[in-house]
Amino acid sequence: MKWQIRAAAGIELPFRQRDISMTGSCIECRINALSPGTVNQLHIPGGPFVRFDSALVAGTEVSAFYDALIGKLMVYASTREEALRKMRAALCELVIDGVEANIAEQLRLVSDSRFAEGNYDCTFLERQVTQ
């Protein structure tokens, strides 16, 4: 974040892209409320390199008058296949009772063989909806 702000201010970076090694695979699912409600029970998945960023707690009221985003579920693993496995497990473990959310849709997307193989384009979601 520090370098992002410095670069935006026009400060030259002291390193080049070739100096940065990329390892592993990270996947993020944005969890959205599909309708308003009150969180009765919340179970957040855990484990190494599993993270859920959210302000939700039991008793939180989710209103229809604000952004539908209620959390971001992120996983990291050494390979894409392992990251997909971890994400499927984390989505199955995530419970947000009292507020209808898009957890099942996210699970369907990351379980799709085309997504797993990286064989998708901008029409992927349109095709998912019709299946």
Predicted confidence (pLDDT) at residue 76 exceeds the cutoff of 60: yes
Q: What is the average pLDDT value for the chain, to the nearest integer? A: 93
Would you state the pLDDT for residue 128? 62
Direct distance between the N- and C-terminal alpha carbons of the chain, in angstroms, rounded to an integer: 40
**36-57 confidence digits (pLDDT tens):** 999 999 999 999 999 999 999 9
Residue 126, H or E segment:
helix 124-130
Predicted confidence (pLDDT) at residue 122 exceeds the cutoff of 90: no
pTM of the model: 0.83
Would you state the pLDDT for residue 125? 77
